[in-house]
Amino acid sequence: MMIPGPIRKMFPPVSRLLFRYLSDRYLSRSLRGDRFQCPVCGGRFDVFLPYGIPPRSNARCPRCGAFERHRLLWLYLKERTDIFSADMSLLDVAPVWYIQRSLRALRQLDYLSIDLDSPVAMKHMDLTNLDLPSDSFDSIICFHVLEHIPDDQKAISELHRVLKPGGWALIQVPVYRSLAKTIEGADITDPAERIRRFGHPDHVRKYGRDYVHRLEKAGFEVTQDRWAMSLSEHDALLYGVNRWEIFYRCSK
């Protein structure tokens, strides 16, 4: 349920999160069914909620709030990593509440979430200047964050710095495969113009196929993992995910 703008401004972020959580709990009960299943929270529904600019159909889980990319991430973590069984340290950038709750419950996982100002994050940090030791994490999740940061190259370098040698990082952004080169505009502040150029009022660039080179420039070795294509059409529809999503798995 979307909170009306005038009401949203009256309450602090934590209160807005609580309002959204309670609204989602009510909606999740009314939308129960068997057409869709959220792999993150396990909820089953007749429909996922629309979300985005413009709104995408079947985008948001009415129970836990996971988007398509979050549901696909969860499936990937289960199928392509040992994060649920191995002893490791994980840095989660701009955490999703339900995923964070689930990962923090894993006793063998040394978990830390960060964000510049999110009330969900365990610590508040600037991704371009992390107050963290070098070579300190076995794994990193950074999903759809860099497109919001003016100096994304500095942020990528910081992620590389804090990752342990031999570790892995999933660093995802929306990549427009039709673009050979990334379109930038950190100086553009008008929300309407950002939507026109980058597809979102908070984005400062539109990544093209050269995204891999930005990661490599910071020192990462990048594997473009097309694991999602192994999902059956039935499962992709059931979970409401994009089979053509490429995971950018970076190693050091």
Same domain, 72 and 51: no
Q: What total number of domains does the chain contain? A: 2
Residues 14 and 109 in one domain: no
Q: Are residues 145 and 204 in the same domain?
A: yes
CATH number, residue 125: 3.40.50.150
* Predicted confidence (pLDDT) per residue in 195-206, tens digit: 999 999 999 999
Q: What is the mean pLDDT of the chain?
A: 90
The answer on 10 and 87 residing in a single domain is no
**31, 116: one domain:** no
Residues 214 and 129 in one domain: yes
Rg (CA), the chain: 18
Residue 34 has a pLDDT of 80
- Regarding whether 75 and 43 lie in a shared domain, the answer is no
Band the pLDDT of 31: cuts 50, 70, 90: low
Q: What is the spatial distance between Cα 244 and Cα 229, in angstroms, rounded to a whole number?
A: 6
Q: What is the pLDDT of residues 134-168, one digit of tens each?
A: 999 999 999 999 999 999 999 999 999 999 999 99
Last residue in a domain, options 19, 34, 60 = 60
**Do 53 and 90 belong together in one domain?**
no
Q: Note the pTM of the prediction, 2 decimals.
A: 0.87
Cα 60 to Cα 69: distance, rounded to the nearest angstrom: 10
Q: What share of residues in the chain are helix, strand, coil (percent, to 5)? A: 35, 25, 40
124: Cβ–Cβ under 8 A, 6 or more apart, which residues? 114, 115, 116, 117, 118
DSSP 8-state secondary structure symbol assigned to residue 226: -
Decide which of 43, 60, 77 is a domain's last residue. Answer: 60
Do residues 239 and 208 both lie within one domain? yes
**Residues 80-108: tens digit of each pLDDT:** 999 999 999 999 999 999 999 999 999 99
Is residue 10 located within the same domain as residue 119?
no
Same domain, 100 and 218: yes
Tell me which residue range forms the domain holding 47: 5-60
Q: Tell the residue number behind the tokens 């948001």, with chain if given.
A: 60
Same domain for 47 and 171, yes or no, is no
